[in-house]
Amino acid sequence: MENGNHDIPENANEHCPGPQSEEAGKADACAGCPNQQICATAPTGPDPDMVTIAERMAAIKHKILVLSGKGGVGKSTFSAQLSFALAEMDCQVGLLDIDICGPSIPKMLGLEGQDIHQSNLGWSPVYVESNLGVMSIGFMLPHPDEAVIWRGPRKNGLIKQFLKDVDWGELDYLVVDAPPGTSDEHISIVQFLQVTGIDGAIIVTTPQQVSLIDVRKEISFCKKVGIRVLGVVENMSGMRQSITDFRFVKSNETGDETDVTEWALSYIRSSAPELLSVIACSEVFDSSGGGAAKMCTEMGVPFLGNVPLDPHLCRAAEEGRSCFADQKCTVSAPALRQIIQKLISSGQ
């Protein structure tokens, strides 16, 4: 695959600042690089690609990053459903997946196996609907199981190419799904987009402390690089599920299980039919520390709301569907819609 950033040599060290940087050949990351002497003596100046990026991004009204401190918190699921929701509001939406090593957006939008097409205007996004376009390295891999084993400079080069060469057209929203953490991809997207303005970042977490610890670092990252935190979403905030969606089992003294779902539901229908409309709730993660809401108060950032752990939402994401068009997502879709409305009403 083509690097996309011809300025950074393939053999450059990880965390290469780039030959155009004032730190080229002088930064700590340059130590031992075979190009160090060349970079240190080469003339430096503004990156000409930034002009092209600024022109592309000028046609996009709002740019929103979706971040997380940890992996596995449902960040890509939220990015996908946010994009579906905005598109259903008749907005022109682009979804950019910059998780280079673990691109999951193509699957979550039902676009697996699609290819990128090129025109004289640049790369064309892959479209779910006429007003929802997607770009991801997942469309470039020869096989979905292919591993992307790239150093930082090559990742940064592809992110730059996504911004410089993709013909997004005029958009109301560009949603950027970033990998977990605060590494090269995050620094690059901020550096490339900041000159054209970023509305801010939505940070996704789960209730337990092990996730919130990393989210605090993500918030600190945003503050250090000057990115506004639009709010924090607490995902998987307890299990909420209709009684009729449960599977019931009975264990014997040896630990063997027998499925008694039909018997249990039949018993409920005959003896307590009012329970059929009850939603069962369960705390999946320990939220005794106050969860994301308390953390937001302590760190002075908005709390956007909770999204319960809903098996129907998980299934919609696996099948590349919008949960808002799925009548079974009765607990997650309203929660997501409320969060998105709060986001829209705040001016984003």
pLDDT tens across 32-76, in order?
888 777 777 665 556 788 899 999 999 999 999 999 989 999 999
83 has a pLDDT exceeding 50: yes
Give the side-chain half-sphere CA count within 13 A for 170: 1
Q: Cα(95)–Cα(319) distance, rounded to whole angstroms?
A: 17
Is 152 labelled as part of a ligand binding site? no
For residues 300-310, average pLDDT = 95
Is 249 labelled as part of a ligand binding site? no
Is 30 labelled as part of a ligand binding site? yes
Q: Are 337 and 85 within 8 A, CB to CB?
A: yes
- Amino acid 4 reads G
Quick one: pLDDT at residue 91? 97
307 has a pLDDT exceeding 70: yes
Quick one: pLDDT at residue 76? 97
Quick one: pLDDT at residue 6? 45
For residues 317-338, average pLDDT = 93
Q: Cα(250)–Cα(248) distance, rounded to whole angstroms?
A: 7
Q: Are 208 and 68 within 8 A, CB to CB?
A: no
pLDDT tens sequence across 137-192 = 999 998 878 888 888 888 999 999 999 999 999 999 999 999 998 888 999 999 99
For residues 225-248, average pLDDT = 92
Q: Which residues contact 51 (CB under 8 A, 6 or more apart)?
A: none
Quick one: pLDDT at residue 1? 40
Is 39 labelled as part of a ligand binding site? yes
pLDDT tens sequence across 237-283 = 988 888 998 999 999 888 899 999 999 999 999 999 999 999 888 88
Is 33 labelled as part of a ligand binding site? yes
333 has a pLDDT exceeding 60: yes
330 has a pLDDT exceeding 60: yes
106 has a pLDDT exceeding 80: yes
Is 74 labelled as part of a ligand binding site? yes
Is 133 labelled as part of a ligand binding site? no
Q: Are 66 and 99 within 8 A, CB to CB?
A: no
Confidence of residue 2 (pLDDT cuts 50, 70, 90): very low
Highest mean pLDDT among 118-122, 197-201, 287-291: 197-201
Quick one: pLDDT at residue 27? 81
103 has a pLDDT exceeding 50: yes
Q: Which residues contact 141 (CB under 8 A, 6 or more apart)?
A: 103, 148
Quick one: pLDDT at residue 348? 59
Is 72 labelled as part of a ligand binding site? yes
Q: What is the average pLDDT value for the chain, to the nearest integer?
A: 90
Instruction: Work out the angle between the directed axes of helices 184-194 and 209-225 (0-180°, nearest 10).
Output: 40
Question: Taking the model in full, what pTM does it have?
Answer: 0.83
